[in-house]
Amino acid sequence: MKYNSDILRKLHAELYDILGEVVRVCNQANIPYFIQGGTAIGAHFFEDIVPWDDDIDLGMTRPNYERFLREAPALLNENYTLQEFTTEPNTPFYYIKVRKRGTHFVESEWVGLPIEQGIYIDIFPYDIIPDDEALRVAQRRKVGFLVNAFMAKSTWLWRWFGRANNGVVLPKSMLSCAAIKIYASLHSKAEIYNTLKQTLTQYNDTDGKYYNIVRMPKDMISVNAIENLEPRRMGDMTVMAPAELEHYLRSHYGDIQKWLPEPLRLNHAPEILHFGESLYTERSRSISVVIPLYNKEREIERALRSVLSQSLMPGEIIVVDDGSTDGSRAIVERIMTENPNAGIRLITEQNSGVSAARNRGISAAKGEYIALLDGDDWWLSGYIAEVCRMMEYYPDAEAYSTAFHIVSGDRLYAAAVPDSEGFINPAEEALNHRYPIIPSTATLRRSAIIACGGFPEGMRIGEDQWLWVRMMQQGFRFAFSTMSLVRYSREASNRSAAIYRSEQSKHSLEELYSPTQEPTLNEYIARIALGKAITQSIRGGTEDAKRAIERFAYTRLSRRQLRRLRLLNALPRPLRTFIDGLYASLAWIIKSRGL
């Protein structure tokens, strides 16, 4: 994950805040500790947190770890909490996390767990490991299995024999999953915890030469290095580190470098990040969020609260009620009352369609940029921050978008999107079955929207692609981020594309065609129009579909879509849904088998 620079600065400040509290407690209780892993790399090369890192890792030998576990809860300031199985039994972590209350740092696999989920630093127990390599491997394998069984008592993260939490599926064979499932079902969490602890500590009375976290094959630190800790500068603090720090780092990481290639700059990439306060920057204040609303009382609170939960807050939030007849408006008014300083505005209009609602919000907006969000969908907490980072990296773009996941019932799966960040051509990507921009992923320069005439009012299907084409025709640039920060709900109520009525619009996809523009753009227009016509035909729009067949017969890259449309439109209307489903299934089989 690439962090927005303002967010990363704030996160590092919070991490140092927690570290300072842990060091204070350790000094007060005379409990030795040491930095390890990526934190040690930061101290060695930067005398700071590694610039792209988002956590801090400490280690303690087992006796010191047990003392900290016993004594720290009474010594920690009330703004912090020590999380471990003995203090919070629902935790999936067998080691200590010291978290800051009132903040949120939630990785995808832990979303929804009933535990404290604040920003944290990790504290790992270090135990003596055997000098014999075979014994090390046996111990490590057993520990790895028990750690998985321990986690399985809180959540399931693998493909087989359970539903992975929040759609996160970690690699594991069917046999391994079966073993974990059986073992976890036969033992209580406390029993697994005690067995794990016994296995981790079984060599502590030996004369082994190394300490380790045990489950990590290369995280070995010599007994001498831990018994002779050395002070190291880290930010404005002095922390303790193993002696011969560079030797430990090279043993653990191999050929360590100060500046890793960008693809290797790994971090935790939380799905939810919030600092417990509304954080604004000059860039984030330049963004106005526009949410069109029509009869979405089941979804609008989720959408609106996803904006209020952003780690960087936008300048304003405009909800345009397009004549809702349910309780949608009352929900928005309640949230406005609960959040009087969030900059929420509610505009009420007669029902005129989603394009008119968006245009009304864009007209009323004060920001230089418009972030679109449909009332059915929602953002993860880093969306605005990522858009601000993209503005910093790609200042010449007029449109910014991110990857997204599709939610269908209780299933979550990644949408087909480009596989790299940067400037993209939406037409070329779509013709290769990659979809870099949908309304809820899009943040657009307001002046560019106005220059294109806004969204095409009265158009019910394809109104967003119409605007993308207009923007491409005027030479506006699109920048894309591979971070999946948007959730698109496929089953939300009142999706406009799910309801067919003949369009009453002065605009059409046909008007976008020009023989003098790039053939790729004309092919993209045909792809959009034929896809729209298939939907219209299935829902009874026979004449609309017939016009599309005639107008877009020029296509060379969407001949299969054209044949499909001709077939559907020749059928009696009651058969079209069934035949189209059958056609789609056969096409998938043929494609998947390479026929």
pLDDT category at 134 given cuts 50, 70, 90 is very high
Give mean pLDDT, residues 460-486. 95
Alpha helices in 294-353, H assignment, sequence order: 300-308, 328-338
Q: Which residue has the tokens 């690699």?
A: 171
Give residue 263's pLDDT: 63
424: tokens are 């993209």
Asked whether the beta carbons of 470 and 512 are under 8 A apart, the reply is yes
Instruction: Tell me how far apart the alpha carbons of residues 188 and 197 are, in angstroms, rounded to a whole number.
Output: 14
Give mean pLDDT, residues 122-144. 95
Question: How large is the angle between the packed helices 542-551 and 559-570, nearest 10 degrees?
Answer: 150
Q: Domain 278-507: state its class.
A: alpha beta
Asked whether the beta carbons of 249 and 54 are under 8 A apart, the reply is no
Instruction: Tell me how far apart the alpha carbons of residues 34 and 65 are, in angstroms, rounded to a whole number.
Output: 11
pTM attached to this predicted model: 0.81
Give residue 96's pLDDT: 98
Give residue 356's pLDDT: 96
Bridge partners, residue 446, by sequence? none
Domain ranges of the chain: 5-272, 278-507, 508-595
92: tokens are 């999936």
Phi, psi of 98 (to 5 degrees): -100, 115
Q: What is the pLDDT of residues 193-237, one digit of tens each?
A: 999 999 999 999 999 999 999 888 878 899 999 999 999 999 999
> Does pLDDT of 532 surpass 80?
yes
Cα torsion through 179, 181, 183, 187, rounded to 10? 180
Average model confidence (pLDDT) across the chain: 91
Closest to 120 measured CA to CA, from 101, 139, 94, 93: 101
Neighbours of 333 (CB within 10 A): 14
Instruction: Tell me how far apart the alpha carbons of residues 263 and 84 are, in angstroms, rounded to a whole number.
Output: 33
Which residues, including other chains, have CB under 8 Å from residue 586's CB and lie 6 or more apart?
A: none
Q: What is the pLDDT of residues 486-501, one digit of tens each?
A: 999 987 544 444 445 6
Which residues, including other chains, have CB under 8 Å from residue 512's CB and lie 6 or more apart?
A: 466, 469, 470, 473, 525
Asked whether the beta carbons of 398 and 476 are under 8 A apart, the reply is yes
425: tokens are 């051509």
Residue that wins the pLDDT comparison between 2 and 382: 382
Asked whether the beta carbons of 406 and 160 are under 8 A apart, the reply is no
Radius of gyration (Cα) for the chain, nearest Å? 28
Asked whether the beta carbons of 101 and 83 are under 8 A apart, the reply is no
pLDDT category at 266 given cuts 50, 70, 90 is low
Instruction: Tell me how far apart the alpha carbons of residues 355 and 579 are, in angstroms, rounded to a whole number.
Output: 32
